[in-house]
Amino acid sequence: MTETAARIIDGKAVAAAVRAEVAARTATLGYRPGLAVVLVGDDPASAIYVRNKDRAANAVGIAARTIPLPASVAEAELLAVIARLNADASVDGILVQLPLPPQVRARAVIEAIDPAKDVDGFHPINVGRLHEGVATLVPCTPLGVMKLLAAAGVSLRGARALVLGRSSIVGKPMAALLTAADATVTVAHSRTRDLPAECRRAEVLVAAVGRAELVRGDWIANDATVIDVGINRLADGRLVGDVAYDEAAAVAGAITPVPGGVGPMTIACLLENTLRAAAARRSRPG
Ligand code: NAP
């Protein structure tokens, strides 16, 4: 085992602080913001995740409900559910748990959600606003990463940041948020030449690839901040990130563990997005 030099960024503690802040603000509203989670099929991992979301929401005064639908659901049926939720004044946030079965086009479903209720921040209107630098509902995981960086006191202005991964859920919005925070951002992916060299240039490295321990200790610059979004289950049952933690912690200045880093932030940010959507929608005239 290598000696740990890096400061550990404690996602559980930061997430608890975000949840406490949401609970305090929700208590002053005079109504319970509503969150509807649509769960299609019976994937056990999705079911556990949705149950955790429900529990966390109710604990901060958000009225969460799950709408379970069979794996055989037709796209039209799912779109009708979304239309009902869009029209329901008690619902402030709508989240459709992904992935969806093959007969349903995820894109059609995401585009059917009222952008004002799109607490995942995946609707093209919200994606566009994010890239325009306009305040909007932002995807929960990259938003959580920004909060971790802030809590760790990492200065982003002018910093060289590398985002490893270019998915719509993590990599792309992550790059947009870091750019908006004045970092100089590089996005790397599976076609990047000499990934280790790209990583070594980074003062802030965010790994979101879904490849167990891909990023090695000698890919990391001395004193860099390393944020590991990856969640990978090894054959022996262990949960590891996209970064080889012990090696990385020996050189990095600060690092997030897996589990207990980015993971807890995602649900906390979903709760914050629900509160934000409720406050914005319910204060609109008319
Ligand atoms: P994804 O949609 O599969 O995207 C993976 C990205 O990594 C792609 O852009 C891909 O490049 C790139 N990539 C894959 N293999 C690579 C390699 N060997 N070298 C360089 N780049 C490579 O995954 P995602 O949804 O963004 O999720 C990424 C990870 O984060 C997963 O482990 C997931 O479980 C985790 N995650 C965690 C949370 C959380 O709450 N903590 C939330 C969401 C996701 P191409 O574009 O070229 O294919």
In this prediction, residue 286 carries a pLDDT of 60
The segment(s) of the chain belonging to CATH 3.40.50.720 are: 139-263
Is the Cβ atom of 190 under 6 angstroms away from ligand 1?
yes
The answer to whether the CB of 143 is under 6 A from ligand 1 is no
Pair of tokens at residue 197: 């060299």
Separation of CA 28 and ligand 1 centre (Å): 38
Task: Please indicate whether residue 211, judged by its CB atom, sits closer than 6 Å to ligand 1.
Answer: yes
Instruction: Return the CATH number of 29-114, one of 3.40.50.2000, 1.10.10.10, 3.40.50.10860, 3.30.70.590.
Output: 3.40.50.10860
Q: Which of 119, 62, 70, 63 is nearest to 96 (CA)?
A: 119
Residue among 46, 141, 209 to mutate when testing ligand 1 (max atoms within 8 A of CB): 209
User: Looking at ligand 1, which atom is closest to the CA of residue 263?
Assistant: 41
Distance 210 CA to ligand 1 centre (A): 4
Q: Are 254 and 154 in contact (CB under 8 A)?
A: yes
The predicted pLDDT at position 7 comes to: 97
CA–centroid distance, residue 257 to ligand 1 (Å): 17
Nearest-angstrom CA–CA distance, 151 and 17? 10
pLDDT at residue 187, as a whole number: 98
Is the Cβ–Cβ distance between 39 and 69 less than 8 Å? yes
Instruction: Name the residue at shortest CA distance from atom 41 of ligand 1.
Output: 263
Distance of CA 118 from the midpoint of ligand 1 (Å): 22
Ligand 1, closest atom to CA 191?
47
Distance CA 211, CA 27 (A): 41
- Alpha carbon of 94 to ligand 1 centroid (Å): 24
DSSP letters, 71-125, are TT--HHHHHHHHHHHHH-TT--EEEEPSP--TTS-HHHHHHHS-GGGBTT--SHH
Nearest to 1 by CA among 249, 215, 261: 249
**pLDDT of res. 220:** 98
Domain ranges in the chain with CATH number 3.40.50.10860: 29-114
* 99 residue type, one letter: P
256 lines ligand 1 (CB under 6 A): no
Write the CA distances from 46 to 25, 52, 77, 192, 264, integer angstroms: 29, 10, 20, 31, 16
Which CATH architecture describes the domain 139-263?
A: 3-Layer(aba) Sandwich (3.40)
Q: Let me know: does 249 contact 4? Beta carbons within 8 Å.
A: yes
**What pLDDT score does 3 carry?**
58
Q: Is 259 in the pocket of ligand 1 (CB under 6 A)?
A: no
Please report, in tens digits, the pLDDT of each residue of the chain (286 residues total). Answer: 545 689 999 999 999 999 999 999 999 999 999 999 999 999 988 899 899 999 999 999 999 999 999 999 999 999 999 999 999 999 999 999 999 999 999 999 999 999 999 999 999 999 999 999 998 999 999 999 999 999 999 999 999 999 999 999 999 999 999 999 999 999 999 999 999 999 999 999 999 999 999 999 999 999 999 999 999 999 999 999 999 999 999 999 999 999 999 999 999 999 999 999 999 999 877 6
